Structure 1
Amino acid sequence: MQPAIVCGRLAVLAGFRRGFYEALTARRDELFELADAVLCTDGAVKTLVELALAPEHQRGHGALYDGINHGGLDIGRLRRAVGDAPLPRAADGRLVLAVDVSPWLRPDANTSPDRCFCHTYGRGRDEHRMIPGWPYSFVAALEFGPTSWTAILDAIRLPPGADVVAITAEQLREVVQRLLAAGHWTAGDPEILIVMDAGYDAPRIAFLLADLPVQILGRLRGDRVFRRPAPPYVYNLKGGRPPKHGGEFVFGDPATWNTPNVSTTTDNTHYGAATAQAWDRLHPILTHRAAWADFPGDLPVIEGTVIRLQVDHLPSGGDPKPVWLWWSRVDATAEDVDRAWMAFLRRFDIEHTFRLLKQTLGWTAPRLRDPAAADRWTWIAIAAHTQLRLARPLASDLRRPWEKPLDPERLTPARVRRGFRNLRAKIPSPVRAPKPSRPGPGRPPGSSNRKRATVHDVGRVLATGEAYARPEHHKKGTKPRRKG
């Protein structure tokens, strides 16, 4: 690599580190060194206090806990610094964003407020559980091609009883506005594509973000029922209002599908022949209930394209089931359909980022009590991940003897982290030298804690304030809502 290019990329990394330091408002030296310890320590971060033993952490373990619990962080300023950094793009130059929720499980933290029941997977064979914790909503920019890299742009903690769709829509609006302000999208560029899983109401999010240059792509349950456009109005002597909806499109009943508007077949390395069928201008029927209860006037008709993806086989060898997608645009071409389902498959890259945050960077390792401290530590982990992404083209492959060599552009985040200590030595640090001090006397021997911590119940209420009750069609052994 040419020296000028190396210096330019080092300048980008140094600029972000300087912006990160300026976003710290209290205990900034400690919090900045804590992020460096996360990046430079050997192995995975298992406990918070062990970071005090890293050479990059020049202060004691008391300062470490004091920085996490009482430090200051201007999250808005750090959000802008993350958004100003270079972002990955798809093959056509389009920004592709993924939104998903990852929980910080805290089942035994009875003294921690604002916990709610988090839906977890993989706790047993086909077993899903609701475990108390702090759910965080992440937004990340996806990269084109098979990779485990993403660019985390935002993270917020979801409070108990929150309207997840409304909060997610507002979070996406703020992220897109920051991207527009940073110049990542200008007039004439392809619209930003936002992909999400089945836990989100994609049509409602598309309606809430209709004024932004975005497209929404979300997965749908296999028992949904959509409607076609209303037929042309024919005058009737008996009167009556014109129809608002057309015939039914039942996902579980092929007899209601008719001929698709677009049908494509693509050979895929992992899934074999992937057949995608698309039906244009389908919409769900909305009612004045739940999220639409207070909507003024007539409910809107949110049209989009329904895509059914069927593959030959799965890499795991299981039985492949069809995947239903809803795209917020109409009049889709074959190229649009292929780009949509391929972008949805890239959504799973964010799962690699969650595993890196939890298993390597130690995002959920600390046993913190205060939710504000959890938010502070979450953004320190995001700042560390962003530095790894910016250091990616500069890192050397310090592989283990049993690992295969990789090209510089194919290095994983864990391998980039191994060489970050060498890159850190080439960048000036804004941290001031620590002052000599002595540890405090602590609690007198033999005394007990006279101030008991408050015990908080786990919140499990809906956005309407009603108590949560599991729907009948979600219970094991029940039949789907519609089969035709």
Structure 2
Amino acid sequence: MNSVPDGCRSDVFGELGRFRGELHRCLTGRADALFELTDALLCTDGPVKSLVGLSLAPEHRRGHGAMYDALNQGRIDVDRLQAAVVGLSLPRAGDGRLMLAVDVSAWLRPDAATSPDRLFCHVYGRGRHKDQFIPGWPYSFVAVLEPGRTSWTAILDAVRLGRGDDVAQVTAVQVRQVVQRLVTAGQWEPGDPDVLVVFDSGYDLARLAFLLADLPVEVLGRLRSDRVFRLPAPPRVVGTIGRPVKHGGEFHFADPGTWPDPGVVTLTDTSRYGRASATAWDRLHPRLTRRAAWLEYDGDLPVLEGTLIRLVVDHLPGDGDPKPLWLWSSRTNASPSQVDSLWQTFLRRFDLEHTFRFFKQTLGWTAPRLRDPHAADRWTWIVIAAYTQLRLARHLAQDLRRPWERPALEGRLTPARVRRGFRNLRAKTTRPAGAPKPTNAGPGRPPGSKNRRPATRHDVGKTTKRALSLEERKRHPG
């Protein structure tokens, strides 16, 4: 039994009931069908393999036709639902700081030739250099991380990336909107520590720090081990003629001969990785060039300084060979305790991978074969709403473990175990969906008739092109 005090238990039940009522109000079209679909997703035993299987759950009192109609023709007030999710109790670090993680997860649809807006999504293969690019719908998620080792996160937002989207620009807009909603909901107030936003490799950290510079945000992310950064510019000598120097010497990640003396060195004993050694250099920055994302920038390119951290551990879980981990933070003048907090927070970013795996393997986020990407967006928010209810009920559910499973520690139920007991909690909380009305089945297609309006087939990948390339700009500067 995952028990909580009676007073806290009533508060948790109240927050869960309020969210369920607000969720029903956010469903502005086919509300009852979508809400019962969410309950069926929460109460079905075992992993979700297909949508039609959810219609057989006792919590779903409508037919499978109403379920598909709700996904294809229903409406969700996403702005209101986002505000409802942000307004819930959110996990924080020991100092009260909010830690956000941003990452992309793909809904692969390689055989859906009639589905529009598919992109080539990067997928890691089994083995070295076995990566693939498979058509699908990539979604960018923003989640709040919890301190300590856990399989829980708090999903706040999800945006589907389009054909002509600039990933860094879309991510910056998404993070900006999430932070603004956090401020509006009172989750961040002036005087609180800056919100730490963690990214994995593949993101342009310097550009994201530049686009989010006006917000109370600190950017932290991983870098490739073959990067080259620049040291801070040396002091200008009196009497020097010419333009001031903007960059110092080169800092090759792979060449220790180019490394100056570090500003901070810390040693930490961990139970999972052995001794962790963190070495930090202050005010290191990438040298920007007027190409790609900075091609349209007017004026001198900025110098975006931050703290570069090199993390080395004794061993990895299993037989993995530990390699140095390079991190960059937009914070400057970081103290030793702040350096340790940064790399420890980055390790918590991998908790988001547990959420993605739970979405896909248990809740069946990528199981439906939906044609319309807008229907996929509705289903994505249904999955997020269901997962949010599991997070709210994590201290209320019983540990209905299988005979071969170990008992969970107090307060350490996984999302899958909380889902097993949600059917018992549902009977004690708000159920705003109305009863279905009796009706007759539609006529359907006449027997023997053929479909004379085949669906349109769509190409995969980006189709937008920059107006002028770099070479064309040089030939036609006007």
Q: TM-score range by the shorter chain?
A: over 0.9
Paired residues for 1:423-442 under 5 Å: 423-442=425-444
| In 1, Cα distance between equivalents of 2:426 and 2:301 | 56
Deviation at 1:356, TM superposition (A): 0.4
| In 1, Cα distance between equivalents of 2:126 and 2:315 | 25
Letter in 1 for 2:253: F
Deviation at 1:428, TM superposition (A): 2.7
CA 141–267 in structure 1, closer or farther in 2 if over 3 Å, else same: same
Bigger CA drift: 450-459 or 183-192? 183-192
Bigger CA drift: 180-189 or 384-393? 180-189
Instruction: Find 1:62's aligned residue among 47, 62, 65.
Output: 65
Paired residues for 1:268-347 under 5 Å: 268-347=270-349
Unpaired segments of 5 or more residues in structure 1?
468-484
Letter in 1 for 2:459: D
1:381 is matched with 383
Bigger CA drift: 219-228 or 374-383? 219-228
The number of residues matched between the two structures is 466
Paired residues for 1:337-376 under 5 Å: 337-376=339-378
1:153 is matched with 156
Deviation at 1:234, TM superposition (A): 2.3
| In 2, Cα distance between equivalents of 1:466 and 1:392 | 54
Q: Is the CA contact (8 Å cut-off) linking 1:162 and 1:463 kept in structure 2?
A: no
- SS of the aligned residue for 2:279 comes to strand
Deviation at 1:124, TM superposition (A): 4.3
| In 1, Cα distance between equivalents of 2:16 and 2:468 | 48
Letter in 1 for 2:223: L
| In 2, Cα distance between equivalents of 1:133 and 1:375 | 13
| In 2, Cα distance between equivalents of 1:23 and 1:200 | 33
Deviation at 1:456, TM superposition (A): 0.2
1:410 is matched with 412
Tell me the alpha carbon deviations over residues 60-94 of structure 1, each in whole angstroms, 9 at most, x when there is no partner: 00001000111011111110011011101112221
Q: Is the CA contact (8 Å cut-off) linking 2:21 and 2:430 kept in structure 1?
A: no
Deviation at 1:161, TM superposition (A): 3.1
2:235 is matched with 232
Q: Is the CA contact (8 Å cut-off) linking 1:163 and 1:463 kept in structure 2?
A: no
1:473 is matched with none
Unpaired segments of 5 or more residues in structure 2?
470-478
Paired residues for 1:188-207 under 5 Å: 188-207=191-210
1:481 is matched with none
- SS of the aligned residue for 1:53 comes to coil
- SS of the aligned residue for 1:452 comes to coil
| In 2, Cα distance between equivalents of 1:87 and 1:224 | 35
| In 1, Cα distance between equivalents of 2:467 and 2:83 | 34
2:174 is matched with 171
- SS of the aligned residue for 1:409 comes to coil
Letter in 2 for 1:269: S
1:458 is matched with 460
CA 207–148 in structure 1, closer or farther in 2 if over 3 Å, else same: same
1:7 is matched with 10
TM-score by length of 2: 0.95
Q: Is the CA contact (8 Å cut-off) linking 2:20 and 2:430 kept in structure 1?
A: no
Q: Is the CA contact (8 Å cut-off) linking 2:27 and 2:76 kept in structure 1?
A: yes
Answering whether residue 136 of structure 2 is matched by residue 105 of structure 1, we say no
| In 1, Cα distance between equivalents of 2:390 and 2:237 | 63
Deviation at 1:125, TM superposition (A): 4.7
CA 187–463 in structure 1, closer or farther in 2 if over 3 Å, else same: farther
Answering whether residue 80 of structure 2 is matched by residue 77 of structure 1, we say yes
| In 2, Cα distance between equivalents of 1:260 and 1:100 | 30
Q: Is the CA contact (8 Å cut-off) linking 1:120 and 1:128 kept in structure 2?
A: yes
| In 2, Cα distance between equivalents of 1:462 and 1:337 | 41
Deviation at 1:376, TM superposition (A): 0.4
CA 314–461 in structure 1, closer or farther in 2 if over 3 Å, else same: farther
* Poorly superposed stretches of 4+, deviation over 4 Å: 123-126
Instruction: Find 1:136's aligned residue among 135, 139, 150.
Output: 139
Deviation at 1:462, TM superposition (A): 7.0
| In 1, Cα distance between equivalents of 2:97 and 2:168 | 24
Q: Is the CA contact (8 Å cut-off) linking 1:161 and 1:459 kept in structure 2?
A: no
CA 67–361 in structure 1, closer or farther in 2 if over 3 Å, else same: same
Tell me the alpha carbon deviations over residues 382-438 of structure 1, each in whole angstroms, 9 at most, x when there is no partner: 000000000111111111111111123100000000000011000131111100112
| In 2, Cα distance between equivalents of 1:284 and 1:148 | 34
Q: Identity over the aligned pairs, expressed in percent?
A: 65
| In 2, Cα distance between equivalents of 1:125 and 1:233 | 48
| In 1, Cα distance between equivalents of 2:435 and 2:338 | 56
Bigger CA drift: 60-69 or 83-92? 83-92
| In 1, Cα distance between equivalents of 2:325 and 2:173 | 27
Q: Is the CA contact (8 Å cut-off) linking 2:37 and 2:54 kept in structure 1?
A: yes
| In 2, Cα distance between equivalents of 1:409 and 1:106 | 37
Q: Is the CA contact (8 Å cut-off) linking 1:396 and 1:408 kept in structure 2?
A: no
Q: Is the CA contact (8 Å cut-off) linking 1:87 and 1:141 kept in structure 2?
A: yes
Tell me the alpha carbon deviations over residues 80-122 of structure 1, each in whole angstroms, 9 at most, x when there is no partner: 0110111011122211000000000000000000000000113
Letter in 2 for 1:97: L
What root-mean-square deviation, in Å, do the aligned CA atoms of Structure 1 and Structure 2 show?
1.4
